[in-house]
Amino acid sequence: MYQLFQFISRQKAFILFTFLEVLSLWFFYSYNNYPNAIFFNTSNYYAAKALGTSNSIREYSNLRDVNTELASENSRLNATIAKLQAQQLDKSIVNYKADSNVASRFKFVVAKVLGLTTTQFNNYITIDKGSADGLTPGMGVMSSTGVVGKIKSCNEHFSVLISILHSEYSVSAKLKSNNEIGSVKWKGVNPDIVEMTEVSRYKTVNIKDTIVTSDFNYVFPPNIIIGYVKKVGVKPDQTFHEIDVQLATNFHTLAYVYVINNKLLGEQKALEEKSGDVKIK
Amino acid sequence: MTPKSIVSQILIFVFYLLLQIFFVRQLVLFDYAFCFVYVASIILLPFEINKMTLILLGFVAGITVDIFYNTIGANAASMTLIAFVRPAVIGVLAPQRGYDERQTLSLNSMGLSWFITYATTLIFIHHFVLFLLEASDWELFFPVMLKVICSTIFTTIIVVIIQFFRRD
């Protein structure tokens, strides 16, 4: 008996080795076994957490490329939505068919914001696309969350935009709920709030109503979000509501914008100007 | 072994494991050369460590890496094997006058040729067992051998390079 223990103690390294080796091989060859699969693979909770952290560090370094990809995907989707929305008008009015050229007249160009201000009385935004990319002054600009402004002037590679936070810039807007037309303009102090005017006080306006671009814009497709109603007030002797609109776009963190190229803008403007000259007998 | 050196040994051991799991896992050259630098955690343990501890540490290191690699037990098997074989290899490679009492197992103290021979032998055995278990198919023998040789060279180079950064 004593010699057995002596033998074991002399050979203990070998015995331990054999035991552990057989154990690992058993783990390996019985990988179909349910309890082993649960314990030993990477879905083990702590392993997963550690790998999750190291993966998120690696993902962080890819963010710039992911952002660029998302912005260009967005511009493509926006163009599709504008086209489909215009075509959808078909269904509600009998016998009305939208001209396919008119429906697909909006094309979206992605641009990155290079500089912007929100604190001055008249604020401008600089973007990195210019006439080399087909931009011309007067084109409307929006972000993924709403209206931003319109192009003031273009260089070959850069453009300056009048942002909606400009005391002289107004956008034709409508209430999404009842299609009431009004005009949206910045009051000049708070970069998150704009004012909507010309909505008759006899129409109902509720808090949190959506304000979108109307169909009467040259440069914006209809139904682009401008903001949400924050406060409605009316003085007794006025005919219009005083509506405060919370802007849907956060101008402090604006990074990517989409310039809206209305291919039929020249035609529409020229026709309206010419009609102004025609004499009515 | 002073407590300080035990702590530093444990830290080095853990360091190689973390290096393997978080950084080297994605490092593959030309689809054939894989790097298993955690082998260094066992190879570089001091001369005077006793065999039982060595085998246990080898098993623990292997199982830890297995959890992250999804190869349930292949790494553990190969690490236990080289932990067992390590004393024998050290004995075979003994220089003519035997090892000095105070020698540390590092490049600076043992010399380049001894270190490379020692590391390559153990790493080769490890990779051989590991890739053979993973493939489990004798038809694939030639690609497996190619993988083993390329990975051995790659891992040895990395281990030697890390050695150059040590202070002793």
* pLDDT tens by residue, A50-95: 777 877 887 888 888 888 888 888 888 888 887 787 777 656 666 6
Predicted pLDDT of residue A215: 81
ipTM confidence: 0.76
- Mean per-residue pLDDT, A232-255: 83
CB contact residues (below 8 A), chain B span 26-55, against chain A: 51-52, 55
Nearest CB partner across the interface for A54, out of B22, B58, B74:
B22
For residues B61-87, give the mean pLDDT: 85
Bigger pLDDT: A31 or B37?
A: B37
Inter-chain touch B63–A41, beta carbons under 8 Å: no
The pLDDT tens digits for A128-184 are 888 888 888 888 898 888 899 988 888 888 888 888 888 888 889 988 888 888 888
Q: Is B74 near chain A, with CB under 8 Å?
A: yes
Q: What is the pLDDT of residue B167?
A: 63
Predicted local distance difference test score (pLDDT) of residue B131? 84
Specify whether the CB–CB gap between A89 and A99 falls below 8 A.
no
pLDDT at A279 over 70: no
pLDDT digits (tens, 9 = 90+) for B95-129: 766 667 667 777 777 788 888 888 999 999 999 88
> Half-sphere exposure of A281 toward its Cβ, with a 13 Å CA cutoff?
0
3-state helix, strand, coil in chain B (%, to 5): 75, 0, 25
| B21–A25 C-beta distance less than 8 A | no
CB contact under 8 A, B21 and A13: no
Q: Is the pLDDT of residue A212 over 70?
A: yes
User: Does residue A261 register a pLDDT over 70?
Assistant: yes
Give mean pLDDT, residues A216-228. 84
In which band, very low, low, confident or very high, does the pLDDT at B7 lie, cut at 50, 70 and 90? confident
Residues of B in contact with A29 (CB under 8 A): 73
**Cβ atoms of B148 and B128 closer than 8 Å:** yes
| pLDDT at residue B168 is higher than 60 | no
Question: What pLDDT score does B98 carry?
Answer: 67
Residues in chain B within 8 Å Cβ distance of A44: 67
The answer to whether B66 and A40 have CB atoms below 8 angstroms apart is yes
Distance of alpha carbon B118 from alpha carbon B109, whole angstroms: 13
With 80 as the cut, is the pLDDT of residue B1 above it?
no
pLDDT at B123: 92
Is the model's pLDDT at B149 over the cut of 80?
A: yes
| Strand A159-166 relative to strand A147-154, pairing | antiparallel
Secondary structure class of A280 (helix, strand, coil): coil
CA angle A39, A42, A45 (to 5 degrees): 70
Q: What angle do CA A118, A260, A99 make, to 5 degrees?
A: 150
What's the confidence (pLDDT) of residue B125?
A: 92
Query: Cβ(A152)–Cβ(A194) under 8 Å?
Result: no
Q: What is the mean pLDDT of residues B70-90?
A: 86
Residues from chain A contacting residue B80 (CB–CB below 8 Å): 17, 20-21, 24
Interface test with B, best of A10, A15, A24 (most B CBs within 10 A): A24
Locate the domains of chain B by residue range: 3-164
pLDDT of residue B2: 76
Is residue A114 over pLDDT 60?
yes
**Residues of chain A positioned with their CB less than 8 A from the CB of B72:** 27-28, 31, 36-37, 40-41
| Residue A39: predicted pLDDT | 56
Question: What's the average model confidence in pLDDT over B43-61?
Answer: 87
The answer to whether residues A128 and A71 touch, using CB atoms and an 8 Å cutoff, is no
Q: Which residues of A touch B83 (CB under 8 A)?
A: 17
Q: How confident is the model at residue B82 (pLDDT cuts 50, 70, 90)?
A: very high
C-beta separation of A42 from A51 below 8 A: yes
Contact B133 A13 (CB under 8 A): no
- Cα dihedral A15, A20, A22, A26 in deg (nearest 10): 160
* Confidence (pLDDT) at B38: 87
Residue A154 φ/ψ, nearest 5 degrees: -125, 140
> Measured between CA atoms, how close is B5 to chain A, in angstroms?
24
